[in-house]
Structure 1
Amino acid sequence: MNQPLMILAGGNGFLGRHLARHFRQLGYEVLTLTRRAKRFGEVAWNGRTLGPWASKLEGAAVLINLAGKSVDCRYYAANKYAIVRSRTESTRVLGEAVAQCLNPPALWLNSSTATIYEDTTGAAPANTEAAGRIGRGFSEMVAQKWEAEFNLATVPHTRRVALRTAIVLGADGGALPVLARLARWGLSTPQGTGQQWVSWLHIADFCRAVEFLVARPTLEGAFNLCAPEPLPNATLMGLLDRHYRPRWHLPQPQWLLEIGAFLLRTETELILKSRKVVPQRLLNAGFRFRFSSCQQAVADLLPQIDSAAYLP
């Protein structure tokens, strides 16, 4: 019996590694499209133009596009251009490849981001797929262009799902190991005012949510991939503080974060924007989270981070 085939475009990062492992355990053959193919199961592509890689999509069960330049950089004009281009061009060329298939992939899941919604503060209602308030800043514009390119693709025989993914928490990548390292040294205090909302998702639930969407052929369109309980930044930092109990506590006012972001060549928006998002469509479809509260998630992940940090 042939294994179902999954194509992971830009799949060598944190999320891609976990998805590949998860779906291989489910019996899938996973091929990763990457700019530097070095291992078995990797196929070279440049994310912009058609090439021999396009034939690999023929007959695939699932195509997942995770490609895009990291937003963990300074938002200079060149970086902004690269952030937009890397997302829209990879999506466009995948659409061209799917369109020319005689037996196109049954499902195409394309990355997007929960940052598509506007800065949502205080007691304002959380953003859902149906009633979310789309923002107008650079990050929100990137997401809108990304999804527009995805929706423009002429792929009538392929189901499409846009993954509006929040901050994914894991022990071996993403934001949590960085926050944990800082918390050990006393930076477990609220960042800025600490009132900004954080929408998040445990890496295990990210993989399970993708599996859920793959298995239900009636589901299409945009889905918020986040846990159902967003929390204020101060609460998240408090969870880290209670775990690490540092000997001192260093304040993190916005002006200090701006200096730190400049030195680290990144932007404070990544931690100061208020993201208040809930996964209404997933919940309505019957998905059940293994880690619905952030307290559960960090209790699972921080011991893993700690054991990795202190291995000889």
Structure 2
Amino acid sequence: MLIVVAGSTGLIGRAIVSELREAGHKVRRLVRREPAAQDEHRWDPPSGTIPRDAFDGVDAVINLCGSSVQGRWNAERKRRIRASRIEPARTLAEAVAEYGIPTLLNASSLSFYGNTGDDVADETSGLGRGFLAEMVVDWEAATTVARDAGSRVVLLRTGLVLSSDGGLLSLLRPPIRLGVGGRLGDGRQYVAWISLPDEVAAIRFLLENPDISGPVNLCAPEPVTNGEFTKALGRALQRPVYLPIPKAVVRAVLGESADELALISLRAVPRVLCEAGFTFRHVDFDAALADVL
């Protein structure tokens, strides 16, 4: 297949481009700077500008665009978070519809489900509350034009991606190595995670299985609590983890984002992937950390 990838410079984007090429697929990359390689095409999502030749003979588009949500939020930061996702999704969906491209795989987030507490969320579960949940609704809705035009649209609702090369683990390792890391709050909130190899394999699986469409949870079958997550990371780094960080401190540091990122409980499972026969490489969290780190 010939596949266009947007967001190819990010953690997942770099890995999926490599995976697709190793599998024998051809890849074109959309970039926002001057092209530096033959496979790159410049585009501008805010203006909706994409060169027509970027889509000649294309079988599928994978959109992985979106700036980081980590850190403190304010009105301007939230505006940028939304724009970095919704504008590219809309621009690419319109191109998919215009050029009759059969498949669009569009990045999304498990934040759609909000705070699930101890309840399990799969692709049939309803919408949660909060800034991120509302953003995901608009993010996914931006692809509607492609679906209405007859293209297959898959919504990649991704959880926390475990990787030694960037991502959240790169932020958590330093304090734990210094002996100042610990669970957040009571540590009972669930974390929906997936290893980078499984994330990439799942995206390829969805690309190559034309019967799957709609939202798909990209997370391991066994979510862990924040307390379990922190202890496992301490074991992997051979460091003690014994200093819990009170919720008040987390909220003081992160502000509004604390309750949607660090303290939220998200107990999601990948029902669609499992029913479709996808085989996870990493199901056990300790084993995944050991492999990744």
2: distance between equivalents of 1:6 and 1:267?
A: 37
Distance 1:65-1:119 versus aligned 2 partners, 3 A rule: same
Post-superposition offset of 1:226: 0.5
Mark the CA change 1:225 to 1:54 in structure 2 (over 3 Å): closer, same or farther: farther
The number of residues matched between the two structures is 292
1:10 is aligned to 2:7: yes
The residue type equivalent to 1:215 in the other structure is E
Report what 1:216 is aligned to: 209
The correspondence of residues 82-97 of structure 1 with structure 2, limited to 5 A, is: 82-97=80-95
Look up the equivalent residue of 1:87 and give its one-letter code. R
**5+ residue gaps, structure 1:** 303-312
User: 1:106-255 to 2 correspondence within 5 Å?
Assistant: 106-122=102-118, 124=119, 126-130=120-124, 132-153=125-146, 156-246=149-239, 249-255=242-248
For the structure 1 residues 139 and 290, does the alpha-carbon distance in structure 2 shift closer, same or farther, using more than 3 Å as the test?
same
Q: Give secondary structure in 1 for the equivalent of 2:45.
A: coil
**Matched-pair identity in %:** 35
Question: What is the alpha-carbon distance in structure 2 between the residues aligned to residue 247 and residue 285 of structure 1?
Answer: 40
Is this contact kept in 1: 2:7–2:64, CA < 8 A? yes
Q: Shift in Å at residue 154 of structure 1? A: 5.8
RMSD, matched Cα:
2.0
Deviation of 1:247 (Å): 6.1
> Could you say what secondary structure the match of 2:262 adopts?
helix
8 Å CA contact retained: 2:223, 2:269: yes
Q: Which amino acid aligns with 2:79?
A: Y
Calculate the TM-score normalised by the size of structure 2: 0.93
d(CA) in 1 for partners of 2:49, 2:137: 27
Alignment deviations for residues 95-132 of structure 1 (CA, whole Å, 9 cap, x no partner): 2222221xx3221000110010020123x2x10111x1
Give the deviation of 1:58 after TM superposition: 2.6
Measured in 2, the distance between the counterparts of 1:128 and 1:266 equals 24
Deviations 1:275-308 (A, max 9, x none): 1100001101111101012111101012xxxxxx
**Residue 249 (structure 1) shift:** 4.1
- Aligned with 2:176: secondary structure? helix
| 1:110 counterpart letter in structure 2 | N
Q: Would the aligned equivalents of 1:261 and 1:267 in 2 still touch at CA under 8 Å?
A: yes
In the alignment, is the contact (CA less than 8 A) between 1:73 and 1:79 conserved in 2? no
TM-score, with length taken from structure 1:
0.87
Alpha-carbon distance in 2 for matches of 1:107, 1:248? 45
CA distance in 2, matches of 1:70, 1:239: 24
Could you tell me which of 258, 262, 279 is aligned with 2:270? 279
Contact kept in structure 1, 2:94 and 2:145, CA below 8 Å = no
Matched to 1:90, the amino acid is: P
Does the residue aligned with 1:100 lie in a helix, a strand or coil?
A: helix
